[in-house]
């Protein structure tokens, strides 16, 4: 990753907030939030169990969202098996005091009508409710605090063994029998005083959640993440960020107060306020890169491209070599795949793709080249902070992975299924659409009215079939409606 990075905060438009980690004109990571679609990930709620599903080993919890959330046994604190304890008392126990996780079923821990503290792991997506957990983690700028667990650690992105050892020694003093702390990447090089200050702030937030438990009568928010804008800046404020550029004074003051004042002056990035009339993303020439996130086809250096297609079951990513020519077919395939591997990993992060992702690389015959590609792709995937597992590269060029969505990607809620193709990406040709309309007309009574069809179908009917119908006693007037798919009709 580039040694000196820029953090761009677009806050001027009330409709959306965009925080981008930028190197040159390339967006490395993105955090997005909109006024109508704010992520719930990280929020803590008081919820009520509404249904148990023993077959799924899971429960559904009403926490105040539009749909009940999904809570699997893997994300239920074992302390809930002690039914006499309240949720606050459960999270005051170390996890080891519950029964063995392997022996627990959902009905051993929860029952319908039971109150629970849950945290949102994944936002609702495609008609499915939010994914919940009763194991709580509260993130700060430097640390992550987890009540009810005893698993302190250090971010894997901190590679220095000496620094890891130093941080572990400091964290041991903070971790009790019933709570644990993890050092985030930003904790590298921080003093014990800075870490202590961040830890105290996290403890105060947890205390506030506990106090809110009795104030929330049935279900509702106990404690939320910071504002989406601050949350995004906090997540992307890496040690090698040299400057933060914002486009409002209000955002500048918010970032200064929430994050920068607690940083040592020699580690604090420069904070610049942009006051020009153009959009900040356009001014810095990154708006085009941002808009590519919404397209299925992304161009690659050298003339190739990747095509991303999301479905209900998985996301498929195809690699096209385009006009790239590096000599032999094998050399060309390897060169195209290596360029694509970096961009695929970046697009997975930017789009916040979740679930199963299958990448169809250009097939290569030499095992050595496949191993080179696999190693490079894994290295690029290693820059992703989401939980991710990848399989080996198969002989036909397929490589699959699973990734937990962070809830930080572009606005899925603003997308809708295409009314013309129904989400398939293709439509019937106009002649086939006209044939379907004709079949439906012949089965209808009366034979007089206005026929509304797709414009292309209307053209075919008028040119080739309308005269036949009118000669057979029909009285039809054709109307075009681009919102109708070929083959669909409205008879008025």
Three-state DSSP at 70 gives strand
Q: Output the CA angle 212-215-221, nearest 5 degrees.
A: 55
Residue pair 461/434 in contact by the 8 Å Cβ criterion: yes
CA distances from 413 to 34, 122, 291, 410, 419 (A): 10, 14, 16, 9, 16
Domains and CATH numbers, the chain: 5-36+226-287 (3.30.420), 44-223 (2.40.50.140), 296-412 (no CATH), 430-491 (no CATH)
3-state percent breakdown (helix, strand, coil) of the chain, nearest 5: 35, 25, 40
Distances in Å between the Cα of 135 and the Cα atoms of 78, 93, 125, 132 are 9, 12, 22, 9
Q: From CA 344, how far away is CA 361, in angstroms rounded?
A: 10
Give pLDDT tens digits along the chain (492 positions). Answer: 446 789 999 988 877 888 999 998 899 999 888 766 677 888 999 999 999 999 999 999 999 888 999 999 999 988 888 878 888 888 877 655 444 445 789 999 999 999 999 999 888 877 788 999 998 999 988 999 998 777 778 988 888 999 999 999 998 887 776 788 999 988 888 889 889 989 998 999 999 999 999 888 888 899 887 788 888 898 898 888 999 999 999 999 999 988 888 787 888 899 999 999 888 999 999 998 888 888 889 999 878 899 999 887 899 999 987 766 667 888 889 999 999 999 999 999 999 898 999 999 999 999 999 999 999 999 999 989 888 999 999 988 999 999 988 876 665 544 556 655 665 555 567 877 887 777 777 767 767 788 888 888 888 888 877 777 776 777 778 888 888 887 787 877
CA distances from 265 to 7, 80, 201, 481 (A): 18, 45, 20, 62
Q: Is 316 helix (H, G, I), strand (E, B) or coil?
A: strand
Q: pTM for the complete prediction?
A: 0.72
For strand 115-122 and strand 44-53, is the pairing parallel, antiparallel, or unpaired?
A: antiparallel
């Amino acid at each position: 990753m580039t040694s000196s990075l820029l953090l761009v905060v677009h806050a001027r438009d009330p409709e959306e907030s965009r925080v981008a980690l930028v190197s040159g004109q390339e967006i490395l990571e993105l955090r997005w939030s909109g006024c109508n679609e704010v992520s719930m990930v990280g929020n803590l709620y008081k919820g009520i169990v509404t249904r148990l599903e023993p077959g799924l080993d899971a429960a559904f919890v009403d926490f105040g969202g539009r749909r009940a959330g999904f809570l699997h046994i893997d994300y239920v604190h074992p302390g809930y098996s002690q039914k006499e304890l309240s949720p606050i008392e459960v999270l005051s126990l170390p996890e080891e005091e519950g029964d063995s996780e392997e022996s627990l079923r959902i009905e051993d821990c929860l029952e319908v009508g039971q109150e629970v503290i849950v945290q949102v792991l994944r936002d609702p997506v495609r008609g499915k409710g939010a994914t919940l957990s009763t194991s709580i983690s509260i993130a700060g700028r430097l640390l992550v605090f987890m009540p009810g667990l005893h698993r302190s650690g250090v971010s894997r992105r901190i590679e220095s063994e000496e620094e890891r050892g130093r941080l572990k020694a400091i964290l041991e003093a903070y971790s009790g029998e019933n709570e644990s702390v993890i050092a985030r990447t930003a904790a590298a090089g921080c003093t014990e005083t800075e870490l202590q200050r961040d830890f105290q702030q996290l403890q105060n937030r947890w205390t506030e959640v506990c106090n809110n438990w009795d104030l929330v009568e049935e279900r509702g928010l106990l404690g939320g993440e910071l504002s989406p804008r601050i949350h995004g800046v906090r997540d992307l404020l890496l040690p090698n960020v040299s400057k933060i550029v914002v486009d409002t004074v209000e955002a500048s003051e918010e970032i200064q107060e929430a994050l920068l004042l607690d940083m040592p002056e020699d580690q604090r990035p420069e904070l610049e306020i942009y006051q020009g009339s153009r959009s900040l993303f356009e001014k810095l020439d990154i708006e085009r890169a941002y808009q590519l996130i919404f397209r299925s086809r992304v161009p690659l250096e050298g003339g190739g491209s990747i095509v991303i297609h999301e479905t209900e079951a998985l996301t498929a990513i195809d690699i096209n070599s385009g006009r790239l020519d590096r000599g032999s077919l094998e050399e060309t395939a390897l060169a195209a795949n290596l360029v694509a591997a970096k961009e695929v990993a970046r697009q997975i992060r930017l789009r916040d793709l979740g679930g199963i992702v299958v990448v169809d690389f250009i097939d290569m015959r030499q095992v050595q080249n496949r191993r080179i590609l696999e190693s490079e792709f894994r290295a690029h995937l290693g820059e992703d902070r989401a939980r991710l597992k990848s399989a080996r590269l198969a002989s036909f060029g397929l490589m699959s992975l699973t990734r937990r969505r962070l809830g930080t990607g572009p606005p899925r809620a603003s997308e809708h299924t295409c009314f013309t193709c129904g989400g398939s990406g293709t439509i019937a040709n106009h002649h086939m659409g006209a044939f379907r309309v004709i079949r439906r007309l012949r089965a209808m009574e009366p034979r007089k009215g206005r026929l509304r069809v797709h414009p292309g179908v209307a053209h075919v009917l008028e040119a080739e079939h309308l005269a036949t119908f009118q000669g057979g006693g029909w009285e039809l007037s054709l109307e075009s409606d681009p919102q109708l798919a070929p083959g669909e009709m409205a008879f008025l």
